[in-house]
Structure 1
């Protein structure tokens, strides 16, 4: 008489199904957050088109976009507010992505794209173009700003150790380069008051009076930076777990760091070249998105690309209506909001943990 041995079941299938449900529900919730971001972005774009010194009803905004009849409102919508809104969307997405990559790369929750010297490098190049070469047009500033941002980021990466760069070294090198460049900027402005007068229109950070052709010029750079940042989501997620874990997962840490610096330079350098330095967007949005979607860059980066332009456009609308008929530049509004958030973050965390 043979005795059959019944194989032991490998777990309860019903329990396995129950274990998958939370993961599926989290993914569904995150996907819903992306859809909400799209809806909020569309709403913010409509507000940007409708609200200003002159309020335009949404039905007239729609007709001005798709069935213009040559009225004054059509001209305002198509020639003034539509380019401003499109620039705000592109620049906001670039700053949000750059901030998320920067914070993940350095594992520093208070990191900002300016930490790599991008803003300081662009500003130093622009002030040189104005004070030394006599260039006074935004189209003339553009390539100087891009070149300055790239050179500053390259210098920070080299001073931080090059291929052996670490998050701490990058942060220290960025602080040193920023201090040196802003000292140079202040000295040149004080030496030439005409440079100071021209520079203040660019350095304040604004979406107003920007030539739409500038966006067309930098659009390929912004698109390349965005695609590069999104392609680095998986290796950045591995690095966020620690270098040992990243190596165990087969991540090329040096290559990822170098490509991340390139992505940040393209995104933030292009955005700064078009609108001037706009601070704190890259700091605020990754924090807000991370509290909802978690630290995984595969979700964090798309969230930042959607919600950062929402914040930028809403801040721009606030600047238009707070002191009518004048307006406050968006860089000032975001600096005020970002300063409040920064104080909150510092008070929440001990200095030894930063």
Structure 2
């Protein structure tokens, strides 16, 4: 009887959270389209979104602000989902593609490609990013070893790899300024130059990642159990984890190739979503994805006013929020270990 009453209370709570999140998404998207360097009236904004005008103001929204906002939302969905999958695979609350060197590996590969090959296309950049992300993940796991590590120790190994690969990336940029003069802005994490081409390139990976995650939901649930128990229930733990890592590489690698290594979003959002929704994966996965998109669009909106009227990388906002958040999590997990 008590369980039924609890479930009845849980449903309105969940519905209100999703409703509030949808309202935040709409407000953040509209704000990003309305306010910026150029003043836009509400009438012009409506006409531009409805494609009912062809003036300079309409084209400005249709070709710059609209694809930039939708790309920010898509990248936020991908990074948040990649962060949640990383934490599920490793059973580590400090895990994320950014901290585990996956984003840094993708960035290093893209920068190397730009230095070695002139006129690198977006698809080629994504392929290089996938290879670099896989290299970063493999390097972290090889340093951590095959034994089960404590959360903080595994995170420290990831941070070491992250700083190593990031230092190599920055060194290559400094030594090849003639071909990478615009990469420093991208390296912090930016959606400023995102257009319709970038959005079209990202959407297949976003849709594939969401569908594959939902299809593998029963297998991911078993990862929450002990390995021996999950194996006894018929789960192929290594296969599930390998497929999960592949999804993380696809989601994080494609996002980094377009917008750079946007820091800490993939760590923050899964924790906030879990605190609000609980540990039920059928609700946690869509809530995390939507919250990631909302957060990155909101961060992109705030980044416009840091050095107004000049643009600032969105990675500044996510790093300012995520740095203290990671320190808090590391201290809490370290206290639990002791």
Does the CA-based 8 Å contact 2:64-2:195 persist in structure 1?
no
Q: CA deviation at 1:333?
A: 1.0
Does the CA-based 8 Å contact 1:239-1:245 persist in structure 2?
no
> Is 1:68 aligned to residue 52 of structure 2?
yes
Does the CA-based 8 Å contact 2:223-2:237 persist in structure 1?
yes
Q: Distance in 2 between matches of 1:340 and 1:58?
A: 37
Q: Distance in 2 between matches of 1:339 and 1:19?
A: 39
In the other structure, the counterpart of 2:271 is 287
Of 317-326 and 144-153, deviating more is 144-153
Q: Distance in 2 between matches of 1:243 and 1:28?
A: 35
Q: Distance in 1 between matches of 2:78 and 2:184?
A: 23
> Is 1:273 aligned to residue 257 of structure 2?
yes
In the other structure, the counterpart of 1:103 is 87
Of 105-114 and 226-235, deviating more is 226-235
Q: Distance in 1 between matches of 2:48 and 2:170?
A: 44
Q: Deviations over 1:267-324 (max 9, x none)?
A: 1111111111101111111111111111222222111111111110111111112332
Superposition RMSD on alpha carbons, in Å?
A: 2.8
Does the CA-based 8 Å contact 1:123-1:185 persist in structure 2?
yes
Structure 1, unaligned runs of 5 or more: 1-15
- Picking from 80, 83, 90, the partner of 2:64 is 80
In the other structure, the counterpart of 1:43 is 27
In the other structure, the counterpart of 1:188 is 172
Q: Deviations over 1:205-228 (max 9, x none)?
A: 111112321221232122212222
Of 195-204 and 35-44, deviating more is 195-204
- Picking from 114, 133, 142, the partner of 1:149 is 133
CA 1:293 to 1:155, structure 2 compared with 1: closer, same or farther past 3 Å?
same
Q: How does 1:321-332 map to 2 (within 5 A)?
A: 321-332=305-316
Number of residue pairs aligned between Structure 1 and Structure 2: 336
Q: Distance in 2 between matches of 1:55 and 1:287?
A: 36
Scaled by the length of structure 1, what TM-score is found? 0.84
Does the CA-based 8 Å contact 1:160-1:172 persist in structure 2?
no
Q: Distance in 2 between matches of 1:245 and 1:58?
A: 57
In the other structure, the counterpart of 1:55 is 39
In the other structure, the counterpart of 1:211 is 195
Q: Distance in 1 between matches of 2:327 and 2:139?
A: 30
Q: CA deviation at 1:255?
A: 1.5
Structure 2, unaligned runs of 5 or more: none
> Is 1:117 aligned to residue 101 of structure 2?
yes
- Picking from 194, 217, 221, the partner of 1:237 is 221
Q: CA deviation at 1:83?
A: 0.3
Scaled by the length of structure 2, what TM-score is found? 0.88
Q: Distance in 1 between matches of 2:76 and 2:234?
A: 33
Does the CA-based 8 Å contact 1:127-1:195 persist in structure 2?
no
Q: CA deviation at 1:167?
A: 6.7
CA 1:337 to 1:178, structure 2 compared with 1: closer, same or farther past 3 Å?
closer
CA 1:251 to 1:28, structure 2 compared with 1: closer, same or farther past 3 Å?
farther
Does the CA-based 8 Å contact 2:126-2:253 persist in structure 1?
no
CA 1:195 to 1:221, structure 2 compared with 1: closer, same or farther past 3 Å?
same
Does the CA-based 8 Å contact 1:106-1:167 persist in structure 2?
no
> Is 1:31 aligned to residue 15 of structure 2?
yes
Q: CA deviation at 1:141?
A: 3.4
In the other structure, the counterpart of 2:244 is 260
CA 1:321 to 1:202, structure 2 compared with 1: closer, same or farther past 3 Å?
closer
- Partner of 2:304: helix, strand, or coil? helix
Could you say which structure has the larger radius of gyration?
1
Q: Deviations over 1:208-262 (max 9, x none)?
A: 1123212212321222122222333332232223223323433221121011101
Q: CA deviation at 1:137?
A: 6.7
